[in-house]
Copies of this chain bind each other. A is one copy, B any other.
Amino acid sequence: MSTATALIGVDWGSSNLRVFRMGAEGTVLDRRADGRGASTLASHQFADVLTEVAADWLAEDLPVIVCGMAGARGRWLEAPYAPCPAGLDDIASYAVTPADAPEVRILPGVAVWRDGCLDDVMRGEETQLFGLDAGFDRVIAPGTHSKWARLESGRIVDFSTHMTGELFAALSVSPSFVGGVAGTDDAAFEAGVLAGLEDGPLGQSLFGTRVGMLAGRVAPTGLQDYLSGMLIGAEIAGEAREGLTGRIALLGAPALVTRYRQALALAGLGDVAVADVDAATAAGLWRTWKAMR
């Protein structure tokens, strides 16, 4: 039967758990989600939570592959970072198995080292990247901590992280930016992107928002969108310092991906493909499992 389960795939993020039941060739047969993210659990709780969420699937004694923060220090079991350049084979060989769940393989994250120092880390996004179709030179995964990865021949050769989402969350409730509702003023968003793309000192650009309000260039109702645009623009400008070429894919929640596409177009990068996170995660888990055998 083509509906026989071959693999249980798990994406265990900081604040969410997603479980995929996969059949032959990695087809997603079913999926479940739970709010017990890795950052809310102690090491000994992971096996129980997974059993609660997917007891019927696990009863079949199938292999289980877990990506994401479950492998971070102090969580289920630390899976040390695979260093860049990292391919599927590296991810597979750095996987670890917790003592309380011998059928489980927890995948590592990926790290950039520079001059002997840990320079950047990702944990979970690597699996999504490996689930994309081949042919992308660069993948952007926007979010709380946006990742910009450079790919060569199927390996992650370098990446960097921008704290854009966390900056927005913090500043959007700060006195200078209170007012308006994000997502309602497209023109304000684009004006913010253009200001951010100038790549001035960020603290100075941010004060420019207040000046823009005083001068009537920024409407109070568009303040949150202007701020969002400025932070995304600054992120793109920061990456563009070292040049942006090749085929780019965007990987993230639809609303955020739409904003990044809009901002990238204003930066002259109109040819960007959009990938579905859920499909990429499942495909990445499947491919990593295949690389283990």
Residues of A whose CB lies within 8 Å of any CB of B are: 73, 117-121, 145-146, 160-164, 166-167, 169-171, 173-176, 199-204, 206-208, 210-211, 214-215, 217, 231, 234-235, 237-239, 241
Q: In the assembled complex, how far is the CB of residue A79 from the closest CB belonging to chain B, in whole angstroms?
A: 14
Q: Is the CB of A203 within 8 A of B217?
A: no
What are the 7 closest A-B residue pairs judged by CB atoms, nearest first? A201-B238, A162-B203, A118-B215, A170-B170, A202-B202, A170-B174, A161-B207
Q: How many copies does the complex hold?
A: 2
**Bound form: Cα–Cα A169–B239 in Å:** 26
In the complex, the answer to whether B201 meets A118 with C-beta atoms within 8 Å is no
Q: Which of B121, B207, B235 contacts A201 (CB 8 A)?
A: B235
**Contact A164-B238, Cβ < 8 Å, known A170-B170, A211-B119:** no
Q: In the bound complex, do residue B215 and residue A117 qualify as a contact, i.e. CB atoms below 8 Å apart? A: yes
State in angstroms the CA–CA spacing of A217 and B118 once bound together. 10
A171 interface neighbour in B162, B167, B176, B241, Cβ under 8 Å = B167
Q: Please name 6 further chain A to chain B contacts, defined as beta carbons within 8 Å, in addition to the given A118-B215, A119-B211, A160-B204, sorted by A numbering.
A: A118-B211, A121-B214, A163-B206, A164-B203, A170-B171, A202-B203
